[in-house]
Structure 1
């Protein structure tokens, strides 16, 4: 019974990350075809600014609901450089490229092409971030990438090529953004998402107005704000939770379901035609996602001393040996009560060697060439 309880305690974070990632993918997947409906209502800069303005409003409402229920580690000064990078790349460059690309591609094609984000995120996470993927995981990434290539095979000239390159540029920006976000995933995800939304929307709206742009008519304005609140604000917050529990590489596989949501919406609601290229691309991508979902990673590994601050709780059964530390003397009166609940403070992890299923999250950034 103790063993089963320990296994469940270790599996719960990944399960939470999976649910959060799938919900993030659902909200974002619906946003791409919906944005295409309003893509000609203003400049790409204006539309991207409104989307992140809606994201900021949506996140402020979420904050009002969950703020008192969360105990998180706030953003610190040393987090500002990566926060600035993910705000510029993920909050400005990516959306502007996406909106401009949507004016040159059908909603269904653009939705499937968004799978490039997963490929870029995986490659950066493995090659730069030292996250680990098995041979099966790398094959799956190749299938997803080949599906994206199949999609654009008949679009290698003229304006369609330009649209494909713009979507690819947006995906590259978001791939870098995802890896930067993963490095900050132990901080308060709601705070990071809100800072990103405000930091991206303000400059873009100001530049759009200075350049002579004007706000779209109120139906389009309200529509873009609502799409931004759900497809960007809520989605970014949930995606940060997924990054915390899954790592950037595996978050990419979960989030790669987003384009399929957009594709189904464009086919069923917008009545766009389903081509043979889409069918072949979808088959390759579905197979890639299926392979990634079956990937399992477990081996004997060594943890070095690590000191950091993040949201955690203590498992009385010993199922989570990463958080078996005590609390400062000032907290002794309530420390035994706090340990059973989620709380955040700076703490130190002692060196430990053990074996259990894990992913490349904030506690498992070890290499794989130094196994004992």
Structure 2
């Protein structure tokens, strides 16, 4: 159970980092074209994480890379979430009010959960469903302004961007045993190059060096480190639950905005925070336990020798844990509390 609470904290930290990017961008970047902002954010993410990978290679740290049969999932995730999603968002933002945009962005968590539940058959309990409803309601309260919810072509583009990010989240779930830094680095480099290319093709000019560096540093934390933590949370919590925790990001953004531009939080902020806190509590209190069978499974990830890792080693083993190597899970049937992590993606009988 300790790993589960750690994973929840990781997911909430990912949300906080991502939510903080909006007010920081507003404070640092000024009136840059949207595609230039997105490109510098993603490029900072990719380059920063690339430096981390280089440092680990120098230190000879072992990690689980993306296997050849997983490349299609990675390419799909990058195409939907790193290229199409940001492009649609930037196009939609040019003609959509800020309040409407913030409200629509809550669709990502809902769509992520729906795809996970319907397409990938991820288990959903009543408390998890109600928790998702409470978190999304909190986001809606935070974003809503009277008269600011009209539908437009831009709004439809933002909704489509949310759908593509939801697909991205579920595709990333398929490769979440791989090195999260590798996944996030690849997304950042491709998305950064794509968005910068679009910005330059539209006639935008690169900003001053210090502004570009500020944007890239913001992207490294808010897009890069955040995505690494998101992938790690996917590994332990499953897609729908991780997406729900990530949906609390707006609270982080509003809280930081209030710190940068001090003013007393309004009633909407406290109502949204209460609803999201209720949603997180409903998720944390979930207990899913039944007899289940693990089929034979072979994969590579960082692990310790817990109840699911009782394998032998075909190499000289020093006894150090945790460690990373390819290993096989033999079929086993047992009962314990669990969640749809990388070892518990079994089907459930519907009564």
| 1:326 match | 312
Equivalence map 1:15-94=2 (5 Å): 15-37=5-27, 41-67=31-57, 68=59, 70-94=61-85
C-alpha displacement at 1:198, in angstroms? 1.2
d(CA) in 2 for partners of 1:170, 1:36: 21
C-alpha displacement at 1:228, in angstroms? 0.7
| 2:331 match | 351
Alignment of 1:123 onto 2:114: yes
d(CA) in 2 for partners of 1:62, 1:229: 11
Question: Which shows bigger deviation, 93-102 or 22-31?
Answer: 93-102
d(CA) in 2 for partners of 1:203, 1:55: 14
Distance 1:16 1:287, change over 3 A: closer
After superposition, the CA RMSD in angstroms is 2.9
| 1:145 match | 136
Alignment of 1:156 onto 2:149: yes
Alignment of 1:284 onto 2:265: no
Contact 2:128 2:241 in 1 (8 A): no
Contact 1:115 1:144 in 2 (8 A): no
d(CA) in 2 for partners of 1:143, 1:370: 25
Contact 2:103 2:140 in 1 (8 A): no
1:321 match: secondary structure: coil
Question: Which shows bigger deviation, 206-215 or 39-48?
Answer: 39-48
Equivalence map 1:104-119=2 (5 Å): 104-106=96-98, 114-119=105-110
Distance 1:109 1:259, change over 3 A: farther
d(CA) in 2 for partners of 1:167, 1:273: 30
Query: Gaps spanning 5+ residues in structure 1: where?
Result: 1-10, 315-319
Alignment of 1:342 onto 2:342: no
Alignment of 1:311 onto 2:291: no
d(CA) in 2 for partners of 1:22, 1:126: 21
Question: Which shows bigger deviation, 183-192 or 64-73?
Answer: 64-73
Contact 1:18 1:242 in 2 (8 A): yes
Distance 1:257 1:20, change over 3 A: same
Equivalence map 1:227-238=2 (5 Å): 227-238=218-229
1:322 match: secondary structure: coil
Query: Gaps spanning 5+ residues in structure 2: where?
Result: none
d(CA) in 2 for partners of 1:354, 1:43: 55
2:328 match: secondary structure: strand
Equivalence map 1:212-291=2 (5 Å): 212-271=203-262, 280-291=271-282
